[in-house]
Copies of this chain bind each other. A is one copy, B any other.
Amino acid sequence: MIKIASDNGQVMSTNLSRSDAIYASLRRAILEQALKPGTKLPEDSIGDTFGVSRTSARNALLRLASDGLVEIKPNRGAAVAMPTLEEAEEVFALRRCLEREVIGRLCKRMPRDGIDALISHVREEERALQASSPRSIRLAGEFHILLAELTGSKLLIDFISQIVSRSSLILARFGRPHSAECGIDEHVQLIEALKNLDAETAMRIMDHHLHAVEDRAKVDEKDDGPDITEILSRYISISD
């Protein structure tokens, strides 16, 4: 019986299987760019780090693979996914499509406390940014997941989560070092447009925002310096 803070901040208390904890920790580590694209993730090292067997580590890796965060080649092991530029364009093209859908729905029906939730999330983004916390990278993406959650559609939340994760990975691979810092202003503008149920403006801002993110991703590449066990030791904690 472990307590863990799930992605959306809700605390669910459940008899969590071991692989869930590993999955969550690895996911955070990847999204916060502590584990960079291309880093090898051998089952043994991960199992040792988290104090479980290879099987649990493996299950976590399989789930991360279905999220597109790691790539598993048969008999050749797992590594943090290295999206290509071509894949990057696919991701952002589809992301624009889905985020427009989100905005369209929210302008038709915004839940009661929706705007408040968005505002308080942006405040947290600002705090994390000022503290130069690696959380800020992840929070920037989770703003978009929060938007999806306000639509109430589980499937849409799922798809947006997947695509935001991949976007983060793309930024980790191609973006500038602290590439998450720019978007907060646009988040604020977007909230304003949503408050006025102004779909037109909101979509324009969103398009601009996503293009900005995408452009940031088209700079030069960075090289890798993997020493997993050291990095992961900071991520085996349970809560945020």
Contact = CB atoms under 8 A, between A and B. Distances in A.
User: Within the oligomer, what is the number of copies of this chain?
Assistant: 2
A156 B63 contact: no
Interface stretch (A30-38, A88-96, A110-118, A174-182): A88-96
Interface in A119-161: 153-156, 159
Contacts of A94: 101, 153, 155-156, 159
A15 interface: yes
Given A62-B62, A74-B15, A97-B101, A159 B156 contact: no
A8 to B, nearest CB: 18
Q: Which 4 pairs across A and B sit closest by C-beta, in order of nearness?
A: A66-B66, A90-B153, A97-B101, A90-B155
19 contacts: A15-B74, A15-B75, A17-B74, A59-B62, A62-B62, A66-B66, A90-B153, A90-B155, A90-B156, A91-B155, A93-B153, A94-B153, A94-B155, A94-B156, A97-B97, A97-B98, A97-B101, A155-B163, A155-B166
